[in-house]
Amino acid sequence: MAACAGSSTGSSSGAAAGTPKTGGTFTVELASSPDGLDPGAIGTHAAEEVTNQMYAELVSQSPAGAYVPWLATSWSSNSDASVWTLNLRHGVTFQDGTPFNAAAVCFNFDRAISPSEQSKGAGILLAPMKSCTAVSTYQVKVTFKQGYEPFLNALTTPLLGMVSPTAVKKQGANFNLNPVKGGSGPFEFVKWIQNDEIELKAWPGYKTPPAGASHKGAAYLSNITFKIVPETSVRIGSVVSKQFDAAETILPAEYASLKKNPAVNVYNVAEAAATYQLAFNTAKAPWNSLQMRQAVQDAINVPQLLQAIYFGVEKQAWSTIAPNVQYYDSSLENSWKHDSAKAGQLLDSQGWKMGPGGYREKDGQTLTLQDVDTSPDANSDQQVDVFLQQQLKSVGINVVIKDMTQAQEDSAIQAGNYDVVGTSLGLSSPNVMNFLFNSAFIPSATSFGFNWAQVNNPQLDSLLSQGQGTTNQAQLQSIYARAQQMVASNVWTIPLYVTAYTFVAGSNVHGISFEFAAYPDFYSTWLS
């Protein structure tokens, strides 16, 4: 939160030079409309980008990934991480004047897990919570059903930004759309014109930035206007032609030329999250066989794919989690490479012989890999599909691409109607692996989980649960290293690239920083 994330590139340091000026309205274009502005109810990235300016969190993550105080001054837990104590900052109020204290924190936590609230993201992050107690005015005790070390990371996400209990009670269900004075962050809500714009203004009473922030007191900007502009070329062109100040998500093809343009600064921030990976449906033949999955992995030339589609903007991933996520296992780097001859041998050994049509066959069946994807897509995933189709054809695998809407893809996944599907998940804790590989999260007709690789491995389940039940760093290091190695050696997923959050701003915009999980933060932003 404090300064520019270490992984960010671009001329951000040069742009930060000079004495900050106060005032001005900063216009930022978003690619899609938020699903709300109540951290307890939202679940989309667009919503988090806005709420991140409005609500302060209890803990912040430094550019290096260290946990630093924000609204909580210190924290501790018992050895299995099942009971946590948080000490809160004194003398803080919400934007409506409601005092920030232990009762307010428990109100936020209880709300996230309350079934009647239908919380999306926040409810998932706090799912294992049993109770929250205000020990004193400024001390909170949180008890979990079992050890829950990822709690600390959860506290840093915009989904657990602190909302004012008074404002929520006053607005009721309407709070999600009209969170007037409900925040605790540097900016407060002004108005939301559906499908058009969201306006925020600086909250003059803000005085509690996280440790390490570049300034104290209120934000420099007087207003922020978020505009909803879905068409990427229009969004970026509007910044270049100075109609708006900044925009998110650049087309990879435009990235290089934008970087050369002196009128704008380009930011490319590696997201601390699960990488973009292809998940096999390991519950379905023939992809339940390790050799078959290995053959696919060997047949893919990832560097070529990334160069052709992303022009080098996205970096190759080697593990299921990104390098800047805690306990990343760097020993996996360069552990495999493109080898189509080896892929052919593996397929031969499994009895899939090259047929007359250029595709392999076995018992009269053609070797097909059904690849489901959503359309329209935001990040050229469909081009990845077509690239895979071409590369895998060379070893005799027929990739059938099924493009569908998001809702249709969800159903296909719940019904297990796929061989492979691209996935990534935005959570900056290694516990993201729990969502991706724990057997409890296998999608089914009655539940929607993210274990799209359909991994049902008791050994991994127990390893991931051990990872939740200790705070011992050395132990965590070894647990998550083993878990990543298990995923890699079983080829449950094939990691392709580290997802990057791209952002472009006019050269008159200074002091944009990105949180550890790559959300932009406009607290210290100013216009010249």
Partner 1 sequence: MGLYALRRVLVGIPLVVGVSVMVFVILHLVPGNPVAAALAGSPATPTAVRNLEVQYGLNRPLWTQYWDFAVHAVHGDLGQSYTDGQSVTSLIGSQLGATVQLTVAALILTAVLGIAGGVAAAVRQGGRLDQLLRFLSIWGSSMPQFWTGIMLIILLSFTVHLFPASGTGGISYLVLPAVSLALLSSGIVLRVVRNATLETLSQPYVTALEAKGLSRRAIIRRHVLRNALIPAVTVLGVQVGSLLSGAVIVENVFGRQGIGSLLVTAIEQKNYPLVQGLMLFIAVTYVVVNMIVDISYGYLDPRVRTTMSEGRR
Cβ at position 82, least distance to partner 1 in Å:
20
What is the DSSP pairing of strand 353-354 with strand 360-362?
antiparallel
Minimum gap (Å) between residue 405 Cβ and partner 1 = 5
Q: Does 465 bind partner 1 (CB under 8 A)?
A: no
Residue (50 or 343) nearer to partner 1, CB: 50
375: phi then psi, degrees, rounded to nearest 5: -135, 135
- Applying the rule CB under 8 A, the residues between 157 and 186 that interact with partner 1 are 173, 176-177
Which contiguous run of DSSP H or E holds residue 495?
A: strand 493-498
To the nearest whole angstrom, how small is the minimum distance from the Cβ of residue 512 to partner 1? 21
Buried b (16+ CB within 10 A) or exposed e, 166-183: bbbeebeeebbeebbbbb
Dmax of the chain from CA atoms? 77
Number of shown-chain residues binding partner 1 (CB under 8 A): 53
Per CB under 8 A, 196 contacts partner 1:
yes
238 touching partner 1, by CB under 8 A = yes
Please identify which residue in 14, 231, 256, 358 interacts with partner 1, judged by CB under 8 A. 231
Beta carbons of 176 and 71 less than 8 angstroms apart: no
Sort strands 420-423 and 368-374 into parallel, antiparallel or unpaired: parallel
Q: Give 344-347 contacts, CB < 8 A, sequence gap 24+.
A: 344/295, 344/395, 344/396, 346/291, 346/292, 346/294, 346/295, 346/298, 347/292, 347/295, 347/395, 347/396, 347/397
**Burial bucket for residue 241 (CB in 10 Å: 0-12, 13-18, 19+):** exposed
Q: How far is residue 277's CA from residue 314's CA, in Å, rounded to a whole number?
A: 13
Helix/strand/coil for 379: coil
Confirm or reject binding of residue 410 to partner 1 (CB under 8 A).
yes
Contact status: 230 vs partner 1 (CB under 8 A): yes
**3-class DSSP assignment, residue 193:** strand
Rg from Cα positions in the chain: 24
Between 19 and 195, CB nearer to partner 1:
195
The nearest distance, CB 73 to partner 1, in angstroms, is 31
Cα–Cα distance measured from residue 226 to residue 235, given in angstroms and rounded to the nearest whole number: 12
Nearest residue (CB) to partner 1, 55 versus 244: 244
Which three-class secondary structure state does DSSP give residue 24?
coil
Site string for partner 1, 374-403 (x = CB under 8 A): --x---------------------------
**How does DSSP classify residue 95?**
T
Cα-Cα end-to-end distance for the chain = 22
Is residue 350 within 8 Å of residue 506, measured between CB atoms?
Answer: no
**Site membership for partner 1, residue 262 (CB under 8 A):** no
Is residue 234 near partner 1 by the rule CB under 8 A?
Answer: yes
Would you count residue 406 as binding partner 1 (CB under 8 A)? Answer: yes
Q: Closest separation between CB of residue 488 and partner 1, Å?
A: 22
Is position 414 an interface residue for partner 1 (rule: CB under 8 A)? Answer: yes
- Using the rule CB under 8 A, give the single segment among 90-98, 163-171, 234-242, 310-318 that binds partner 1: 234-242
Q: Which of residues 69-128 bind partner 1 (CB under 8 A)?
A: 115, 118, 120-121, 123-124, 127
**Contact flags string 420-439 toward partner 1, x per CB under 8 A:** ---------------x----
Could you tell me the smallest distance in angstroms from the CB atom of residue 180 to partner 1? 17
Determine which residue in the list 48, 49, 149, 197 makes contact with partner 1, applying CB under 8 A: 197
Choose among 269, 224, 195: nearest CA to 34.
195
Applying the rule CB under 8 A, the residues between 200 and 229 that interact with partner 1 are 227-229
Q: Which of 398, 408, 456, 477 binds partner 1 (CB under 8 A)?
A: 408
Which residue in the set 35, 80, 199, 403 belongs to the binding site for partner 1 (CB under 8 A)? 35
- Segment interacting with partner 1 (CB under 8 A) among 7-15, 28-36, 313-321, 473-481: 28-36
C-alpha to C-alpha distance for 384 and 405, rounded to whole angstroms? 17
Q: Of the candidates 440, 425, 368, 451, which has an alpha carbon nearest to the alpha carbon of residue 402?
A: 368
From residue 469, how far is each of 273, 369, 457 by CA, in Å?
21, 38, 19
By CB under 8 A, is residue 328 in contact with partner 1?
no
- Strand arrangement, sheet containing 129-136: 72-77, 83-88, 139-144, 129-136
Toward partner 1, which CB reaches closer, 229 or 463? 229
Nearer to partner 1, 48 or 419 (CB): 48
Using CB under 8 A, which of the segments 6-14, 65-73, 440-448, 468-476 binds partner 1? Answer: 440-448
User: Cβ(208)–Cβ(517) under 8 Å?
Assistant: no
194 binds partner 1 (CB under 8 A): yes
Using the contact rule CB under 8 A, the part of the chain among 27-35, 136-144, 335-343, 520-528 near partner 1 is 27-35
Residues at the contact surface with partner 1, assessed by CB under 8 A: 29, 32-33, 35-36, 43-44, 115, 118, 120-121, 123-124, 127, 173, 176-177, 193-197, 227-231, 233-235, 237-238, 240-241, 243, 376, 404-408, 410-412, 414, 435, 441, 444, 446-450
